[in-house]
Amino acid sequence: MRVHNFSAGPAQLPLPVLERAAAELTDWRGTGMSVLEDSHRGKDFIACAAQAEAAFRRVAALPDNYRVLFLAGGATGQFSAVPANLAARGATAAFINTGQWSAKAAKEAKRQGLNVVTIADESASHYTTTPDPASLIIPADAAYLHYTPNETIGGVEFPYVPDAGDTPLVADFSSTYLSRPVDFSRFGVVYGGAQKNLGPAGLAVVLVRDDLLDRARPDVPAIWDWRTMVDKDSMLNTPPTFSVYLLGLILEWMEEQGGLATIGAANEAKARSLYEAIDASDFYANPVEPRSRSWMNIPFTLADPALDADFLAGAAREGLANLKGHRSVGGMRASLYNAMGADGVAALIDYMTEFERVHG
Amino acid sequence: MRVHNFSAGPAQLPLPVLERAAAELTDWRGTGMSVLEDSHRGKDFIACAAQAEAAFRRVAALPDNYRVLFLAGGATGQFSAVPANLAARGATAAFINTGQWSAKAAKEAKRQGLNVVTIADESASHYTTTPDPASLIIPADAAYLHYTPNETIGGVEFPYVPDAGDTPLVADFSSTYLSRPVDFSRFGVVYGGAQKNLGPAGLAVVLVRDDLLDRARPDVPAIWDWRTMVDKDSMLNTPPTFSVYLLGLILEWMEEQGGLATIGAANEAKARSLYEAIDASDFYANPVEPRSRSWMNIPFTLADPALDADFLAGAAREGLANLKGHRSVGGMRASLYNAMGADGVAALIDYMTEFERVHG
């Protein structure tokens, strides 16, 4: 019995992808070995990685002047790698603070020696808002502007792409990567962990515009040296091969679904139905200002927190898993990534309605 | 049909481990989800990671004053992390150069600002030797001594553990990790990529003696900050969960085999039988001095390199895969990690004998 898994990440994956991976886990495409066992220098894996990159470019509609890197260490690794690739120690970088993930990115940039200027800080609203786009003033000497399009914990999402002018725009897309069409030409660097919409934990997908490849410090760690990794097709060292393979399968599945236009529309519809159910009730509440509500991560509270444990226990009995909210926010959180079907959201809403009928 | 896979890494894994992973890839231990999909903050995965660590400690007979870390970025990531955790910029570290991997570790230590003193350099023998232990003189101010117990490319292995005195001894165990009993109390830090004896690519297993945890630079990248990762049970950020899970299954399999004493004896016997076949023939040759021959990676050349392509094509037809030698060494290389059975080595020797009979 498969559950509906609302985990914020690692997260639900498409069942056909898992079934295919299971079927070929001891004999991959006639090689007589698992993809887990094959050399990353062999023709089969090189083709697998090249196919994943080509599929990513197609699905994302990525402009030709961007490189795609498959790197180890997740988004938190790139928190360290971005400053080391883009700015000297002591340089200035601008950050927008909309929650715990953007704050962590800024903290690590400081550790890497940057002068971090926070040009917008939403902590006063307890991270339930995004800034007015007209309020964003970028220091003239900023090496880049960093922001987090979707905050996984707060469930806050930018309804716009900030206008950074000539300053390179850098974004942590971890929890919204390939969840809808995006004009990537607006960005200088995009990065994100795969473990939400793109596959298993252990892989960061990094997109770098060509003109930003040669700004690295001499001591950037080798495995995060974007220029070297571009020249080595992300294989300076052994890449996380199984993660790249699964990413390729997931991108195939995304193309079978109709690509980002279809997937984005489905994601919007899933989120809207859950927000409508929450807003129609006095029993449930979501704290985020409507224009900044995330399609991906939807926190909600019960009017009486004493019922939280009952709610979660009953949900688990109904096959609705991983709904407990982040410890810093409390209550519940439903993450509705690409692989969450409309049936899963409908089952959650049915359960919420019934729970309110009994306990409300 | 499963082949015998002699890849240097990623490498052959135990078939029962792959079969179990395949069987539970869509429903892991009754959770109704894959281990790939489960939150790393949930009780099931936390138990899985704790079991893997406990099994590692048991199998390795690791003393209590060592921490076990599961980190992203492989051994090449630790090439950057070791200097940043152990020494200030400008400090001295001693290196033994026995091949490409120790050279790469030293190069990255230089990039991270260390004064690298090479106290033994085997390049004059084309990396077919290890130094005389009595010749190793460690500078008094060295923050640590680094060496590579087994060189995957050259097939050179130390027949002894260097005596580093009071200097912390640091070793890249990637291609010999848990291949036989080792007295880990001789070491300050041990690290290695998992993709040889311990599982899939994408995971480094790092062992740190307690007294070495608090020497890090303030700007060590967060995901490689050993102290932080000890305090966070290797989960400052999302770990490569599937790799940790598979490591746990492989450690279970190792215990079923009888542990490191049994596995080490089997590895020695496998290697001995292949070296004996090579040495008994004028058609095949291994260039490494006998006392420094690796149990794990056995390069060999054919008397006539014009036959290399025929040898490899015939081997592939016999289900003997990934025998092509590293491009820098040429010829063949057979990697005989823990999961390579004696039957695979026997099949290789039979094939070599028949090939020599026809072409010799």
Q: What is the pLDDT of residues A24-39, one digit of tens each?
A: 999 999 999 999 999 9
Query: What one-letter code names the amino acid at A201?
Result: A
CB of A195 within 8 Å of a chain B CB? The answer is yes
Q: Where are the domains of chain A?
A: 16-256, 259-359
Q: What is the pLDDT of residues B75-112, one digit of tens each?
A: 999 999 999 999 999 999 999 999 999 999 999 999 99
Joined tokens for residue A290 = 């409507």
Inter-residue contact B195 to B205 (CB < 8 Å):
no
Contact check, Cβ <8 Å, A76/B218: no
CB of B113 within 8 Å of a chain A CB? The answer is yes
Contact check, Cβ <8 Å, B3/A31: yes
What whole-number distance in Å separates Cα of residue A165 and Cα of residue A147?
A: 15
What whole-number distance in Å separates Cα of residue B184 and Cα of residue B193?
A: 17
Which of these is catalytic: A196, A224, A226, A295? A196
Joined tokens for residue A104 = 């962590």
CB of A36 within 8 Å of a chain B CB? The answer is yes
Residues 43-72, chain A, touching B (beta carbon < 8 A)? 72
**What's the gap in Å between the CA of B78 and the closest CA on chain A?**
9
What's the Cα-to-Cα distance from B129 to each of A271, B90, B99, B280, B286, rounded to whole Å? 63, 30, 9, 21, 12
**Residue A253 is among the residues annotated as catalytic for this protein:** no
Q: What is the pLDDT of residues B295-318, one digit of tens each?
A: 999 999 999 999 999 999 999 999
Give B329's pLDDT tier (boundaries 50, 70, 90). Answer: confident
Residues 311-340, chain B, touching A (beta carbon < 8 A)? 319, 321-322
pLDDT at B175: 97
SS3 B316: helix
Average model confidence (pLDDT) for chain A?
97
Give A95's pLDDT tier (boundaries 50, 70, 90). Answer: very high
Joined tokens for residue B235 = 């989960």
Give A135's pLDDT tier (boundaries 50, 70, 90). Answer: very high
Give B327's pLDDT tier (boundaries 50, 70, 90). Answer: confident
pLDDT at A1: 85
Contact check, Cβ <8 Å, A25/B2: no
DSSP state of A199: S
CB of A241 within 8 Å of a chain B CB? The answer is yes
B41 carries a ligand binding annotation? yes
**What's the gap in Å between the CA of B132 and the closest CA on chain A?**
30
pLDDT at A326: 92
Inter-residue contact A336 to A349 (CB < 8 Å):
no
Give the CATH number of domain B16-256; options: 3.40.640.10, 3.30.420.40, 3.40.190.10, 3.20.20.105.
3.40.640.10
Write the CB contacts of B140 (distance below 8 Å, at least 6 apart in sequence): none
Residue range B259-359, CATH number? 3.90.1150.10
Percent of chain B with pLDDT over 90: 98
CB of A242 within 8 Å of a chain B CB? The answer is yes
pLDDT at A360: 86
Residue B349 has pLDDT above 90, yes or no: yes
Contact check, Cβ <8 Å, A74/B238: yes
Q: What is the pLDDT of residues B223-245, one digit of tens each?
A: 999 999 999 999 999 999 999 99
Is B79 exposed, middle or buried (CB count within 10 Å of its CB: 0-12, 13-18, 19+)? Answer: buried
Q: Among the residues of B32-160, which ranges form H helices?
A: 43-60, 74-86, 100-111
Site from B33, B85, B111 to mutate, A interface, most A CB atoms within 10 angstroms: B33
Q: Answer yes or no: is the ipTM higher than 0.90.
A: yes
Across the interface, which of A10, A37, A75 has its CB nearest the CB of B13? A37
Residue B62 has pLDDT above 90, yes or no: yes
**A161-181: average pLDDT:** 98
Site from B15, B175, B223 to mutate, A interface, most A CB atoms within 10 angstroms: B223
Residue A327 has pLDDT above 90, yes or no: no
Inter-residue contact A144 to A162 (CB < 8 Å):
no
